[in-house]
Amino acid sequence: MKRRWNLGAFLMVLILLQFGFPVTLYGDWWTGLYMLLYAWMVVSGILTVRDERDRLVPLLVITPVFLVFGIWVAFDQQNEDARLGMLVSLGLFQVGLAYSLGKFIFRRSGAPGADLIQAAVCVYLLIGGVFAAVFSSMEILWQGSFQDTVHPETYLAWQQLTYFSYVTQATLGYGDILPVHPWARSLAALQAVGGTLFLATVIARIVGAYVAKQGTDEERPHE
């Protein structure tokens, strides 16, 4: 039950972070409030996987690095070194969480429950967040890796590339933002294929767990 509540809180903050980023376009005050959500993500994420001792330690190591860069960005939002450091540490933190929750999904025994569904949704959102961090880092290091076909002269910030990440993962393909650099195209293709395979694998896992539970129930002697 405790894990379920932790997963619920973590899922809520992921939804706010991954889809609430337009508030950062309204000024520094809103950006500061948005940055506070990252602190909530760190706390709820660690609480969610705190029983996984072998994977908790790397997260605890990455956390202070991420928080330092996050505070730096909050006070100096135009500093590319600060943004790059925050994106890299954020990506690593999300990879650690996704790995830990993925292990939980595929090793969990018993009937599929709300915790299994919540964990699967969290991992799916984390995958999009990891690629958003990678794409944003690429654009900082190699500006022009992506192009906005609607506003070709506009610099693509992390907000636009977060949108691009989830559009790619959902294989919608609007075509308004395009990967131009060869590695950007390769990573976008990897995300599209990986996101689709993850959904198929998780659905098979949930259906398999449900069928196994039904079979166990039928084999029990009726009183």
Q: pTM for the whole thing? A: 0.88
Residue whose entry in the numeric block shows the structure tokens 């609007």: 174
pLDDT of res. 12: 93
Whether the CB-CB separation of 18 and 162 falls below 8 Å is answered with: yes
How many CB atoms lie under 10 A from the CB of residue 98? 19
**pLDDT at 108 (0 to 100):** 64
Distance CA 109, CA 51 (A): 17
pLDDT of 36 reads 86
Separation between Cα atoms, residue 45 and residue 35, nearest integer Å: 16
Q: Tell whether the model's pLDDT for residue 213 goes beyond 70.
A: no
Domain extent at residue 131: 2-219
Residue 116 pLDDT exceeds 90: no
Task: Name the pLDDT band for 13 (thresholds 50, 70, 90).
Answer: very high
Domain count within the chain: 1
The three-class DSSP label of residue 96 is helix
